[in-house]
Amino acid sequence: MAGQTGAVIARIRDVRLGPFDLVVERRSDGTIRARSPHRLGDYPARLTWCLEHWAGRAPDRTFLAKRDHAGGWRRLSYAETLRGVRRIGQALLERGLSAERPLAILSGNDLEHALLALAAQHVGVPYAPISPAYSLVSKDFGKLRYIMELLTPGLVFTTSGTAYHAAIAAAVAPETEVVVTAEPPSGRAVTAFADLLATEPSTAVEAAAARVGPDSIGKFLFTSGSTGLPKAVINTQRMLCSNQAMIATMLAFLQDEPPVMVDWLPWHHTAGGNHNVGLVLYNGGTLYIDDGRPTAAEIAETVRNLREVATTFYVNVPKGFEALLPHLEADADLRERFFSRLRLMFYAGAHLAQHVWEALQRHALEATGERILMLTGLGATETAPFVFMPGKEAGRAGEVGLPAPGIELKLVPLDQARFDVRLRGPNVTPGYWRQEELTAEAFDEEGFFRLGDALRFLDPAAPEKGFVFDGRIAEDFKLSSGTRVNVGELRRTVIAHFAPLLRDAVIAGHDRDEVTVLLLPDAEACRRLFADIAPSDRELLGSAPLRRVLQERLDTLAQAATGSSNHVARALLLEEAPSI
């Protein structure tokens, strides 16, 4: 492999990517403006234009598929999806829904969710997909109540009335109509989803669709609320459609053949709901909804799906790729199937550990004789989300590449190397719904959105080589000595140094004399290392052999420190996982 004298560098499977160039202008106030020199191409005024387009060009092609209770694939073609969208769109119009009384979806990824969401967008009714955890994991439903009070929905949908009964009773106003796919809850009148789908469409549906334009609100996406209560990010049709044009420009191979994806990423999050569903629809592809998850208990379902479906584009979080590895290692048929048509792997949400990357490339070589390009990027819920992507495989962790055409960057110096990155473009949100103060804070005096991330040039002498992510500005803090701690960079260093034993790490020490860390262990990885130590996870995490290994890692981490800002003085292993 590369880096060894006389080694042969394996060929990377050919994949067509977009133009990667940068125009830089240095201002007298010290700020830098940067953008792609290429013009963003035209894009539709509303996302459901793509549904109409592909229903006309490839009516029988599968758009969405999900396993039914018998284990077979239940499919919706483009033509079937459009028929359902028009019927449900009529039902939504008859209910007088609007931005003031939108549609709220409580449950996860499924065909009914997709039909409702597209129908709402088609007739100009905003909708809000809400994290199921707020209904199924939370005990007090505090965030769900807050969201419902902020949205004032006119219609609430869920798959199972029984599973979501407590959440609906606690957070949904009695006068609000509730639609369920199955299992209506006791004690509350509900509407069956089948009734919406049975509605006969009229000319009002296409008249409403004709009124939907770039400034129409498509959806409200809620941020995670990690720094407070969730914020409702307004997603306009301009944002959704321009961002898909950016993706299709940078990931140009998507235009060469309709993409095929197997994907579990949740639709209440911008990566799953905007990026992945959107790129399949925009490019006339097929999305197989994966009910698996990157855990020991649920990865088997993902493996089952990947044995049946050869994807052309695979997106996952680092933990997802890590959970898949043992199965690729053990199953030659799975390896061959997984890599057979794959053009690109893409990860987001966190840093991909080097050992995971190397193992994936080794398996690709074994299966195909080629390496498969692995890329990442950077974006936000407020940017729909696509902003940055590298034009080649990153040579180091954190490389995010260059901005897509149509995006203008404003780089405000934080120090000699780091910049506060701000941006504007057609994919940037106009603000937060019914939260004017938060909206005002999110933009600077020139109308640039404050991304909240720090970037630096990969090579200051050659800006066109792209940017490196350098942490969340809001997370950084100072020690009592006044020394600033770059939390994002240190967190990545800690996780990589302890790999694969950690799920995450929390950096602490604000206004203290030294940096400390909370270690969130990966119990599955720890058990693979110490298979016979203890019968339970709690006993394993408290065992002397594991503690000894963690102490050794902490010692070597401290020895590599260059100063107080990256010297971890103490670490606490959390034996219980954090709760919502």
Percent of the chain at pLDDT exceeding 70? 97
Tokens in use for 19? 């133009």
Residue indicated by tokens 């060894």: 4
Helix-strand-coil split of the chain, %, nearest 5: 35, 25, 40
Q: If you average pLDDT over residues 449-474, what whole number do you get?
A: 91
What is the identity of the amino acid at 572? L
Instruction: Give the CA distances from residue 383 to residues 48, 187, 235, in Å, rounded to whole numbers and listed in that order.
Output: 20, 41, 9
Indicate the range of 71-85, 200-214, 505-519 predicted with least confidence: 505-519
Distance CA 160, CA 96 (A): 24
Beta strands in 323-435 (DSSP E): 344-347, 374-375, 378-379, 386-389, 399-403, 408-413, 419-424
Closest CA to 106 of 66, 69, 161: 161
pLDDT in the model for residue 7: 42
Quick count: other Cβ atoms within 10 Å of Cβ 146?
16
Distance CA 88, CA 125 (A): 11
Tokens in use for 179? 């639609």
Q: In 3-state terms, what secondary structure has residue 387?
A: strand
Please, what is the average pLDDT of the chain? Answer: 92
Rg, the chain, Cα only = 24
> Model-level pTM?
0.89
Distance CA 109, CA 271 (A): 13
Task: Please write the tens of the pLDDT for every residue from 493-504.
Answer: 898 899 888 888
Residue indicated by tokens 């010692």: 555
Question: Alpha-carbon torsion 391, 397, 402, 403, what sign?
Answer: positive
Are residues 294 and 322 in contact, defined by beta-carbon separation less than 8 angstroms? Answer: yes
pLDDT in the model for residue 164: 96
Distance CA 139, CA 141 (A): 6
pLDDT at 474 over 90: no
Are residues 329 and 360 in contact, defined by beta-carbon separation less than 8 angstroms? Answer: no
Quick count: other Cβ atoms within 10 Å of Cβ 16?
11
pLDDT in the model for residue 295: 87
Distance CA 329, CA 335 (A): 8
Closest CA to 14 of 250, 343, 314: 343
Write b or e for each residue in 537-548: b if 16 or more Cβ atoms lie within 10 A of its Cβ, otherwise e.
beebbeeeebee
Task: Please write the tens of the pLDDT for every residue from 4-22.
Answer: 333 446 789 999 999 999 9
Distance CA 500, CA 459 (A): 30
Distance CA 427, CA 447 (A): 14
